[in-house]
Structure 1
Amino acid sequence: MKKLSVFTLWLSSLLLGLLVSNQSAYATRSPKDEPIRIVSLDGTVSEILCDLGLQSHLIGVDVTSTYPELLQKLPKVGHNRTISAEGVISLKPTLVLTSQNAGTKPEVIEQIKSAGIKVITFQQEYSVAGTKKLIQDVANTCQVPSRAKPLIKKLDADLAQVKKAMTSPKVLFIYARGTGTMMVSGRGTQVDKMIELAGGANATPNFENYKPLTAEALVTANPDVILLFDSGLESLGGADGLAKVQGVAQTNAGKNGRIITMDGHLLSGFSPRLGKALQELAQKITQKPKA
Structure 2
Amino acid sequence: MQLVSRFYICLLILVLTAGTGYAKALRIVSANGTLSEILVGLGLEKQLVGVDVTSTYPASLEKIPKIGHNRTIAAEGILALNPDVIIYTNQSMLPPAVVKQLNSSGKKLVEFKHEYSNEGAIKLIREVGAYFNASAQAEKMVKALQADLAKIPAPANPKKLLFIYARGTGTLMVSGTGTSLDKMFTLAGHKNAVAGFTEFKPLTAESLIAANPDVLVLFSSGLESLEGMDGLLKIPGVASTNAGRNRKIVTMDGQFLTGFGPRLGKAAIELSQKVK
> Taking structure 2 as the reference length, what is the TM-score of the superposition?
0.91
Aligned to 1:259: 249
Distance 1:207 1:112 in 2: 33
Distance 1:159 1:144 in 2: 23
Aligned to 1:101: 91
Aligned to 1:205: 195
Answering whether residue 138 of structure 2 is matched by residue 148 of structure 1, we say yes
Alignment of 1:1-291 (within 5 A): 33-286=23-276
> Are 1:96 and 1:117, in contact at CA under 8 Å, matched by a contact in 2?
yes
Amino acid at match of 1:165: P
The share of aligned pairs that are identical, in percent, is 54
Distance 1:209 1:110 in 2: 25
Amino acid at match of 1:188: G
Distance 1:166 1:152 in 2: 28
C-alpha RMSD of matched pairs (Å):
1.3
Q: Compute the displacement of 1:34 (Å).
A: 3.2
Amino acid at match of 2:243: A
Distance 2:117 2:46 in 1: 29
Distance 2:66 2:178 in 1: 29
> Are 1:62 and 1:76, in contact at CA under 8 Å, matched by a contact in 2?
yes
Distance 1:105 1:164 in 2: 39
> Are 1:249 and 1:255, in contact at CA under 8 Å, matched by a contact in 2?
yes
Secondary structure of residue in 1 paired with 2:144: helix
Aligned to 1:289: none
Aligned to 2:17: none
Distance 1:112 1:209 in 2: 27
Distance 1:34 1:149 in 2: 23
> Are 1:164 and 1:197, in contact at CA under 8 Å, matched by a contact in 2?
no
Secondary structure of residue in 2 paired with 1:104: coil
Structure 1 regions of 5+ residues with no counterpart?
Answer: 1-14, 16-21, 23-31, 287-291
Secondary structure of residue in 2 paired with 1:93: coil
Q: Compute the displacement of 1:167 (Å).
A: 1.4
Q: Deviations over 1:239-266 (max 9, x none)?
A: 0000100111111111111011010001
Amino acid at match of 1:100: N
Q: Compute the displacement of 1:106 (Å).
A: 2.2
Amino acid at match of 1:283: Q
Distance 1:34 1:110 in 2: 27
Distance 1:283 1:205 in 2: 24
Q: Which aligned segments of 4 or more residues in structure 1 are displaced greater than 3 angstroms?
A: none
Q: Compute the displacement of 1:166 (Å).
A: 2.3
> Are 1:200 and 1:285, in contact at CA under 8 Å, matched by a contact in 2?
no
Structure 2 regions of 5+ residues with no counterpart?
Answer: 4-9, 11-21
Secondary structure of residue in 2 paired with 1:97: strand
> Taking structure 1 as the reference length, what is the TM-score of the superposition?
0.86
Distance 2:165 2:181 in 1: 10
How many residues align? The count is 257
Amino acid at match of 2:44: L
Amino acid at match of 1:105: P
Secondary structure of residue in 1 paired with 2:70: coil
1:33/1:160 Cα in 2 relative to 1: closer, same or farther (>3 Å)? closer
Q: Deviations over 1:93-114 (max 9, x none)?
A: 0000100110001221221222
Q: Compute the displacement of 1:33 (Å).
A: 4.0
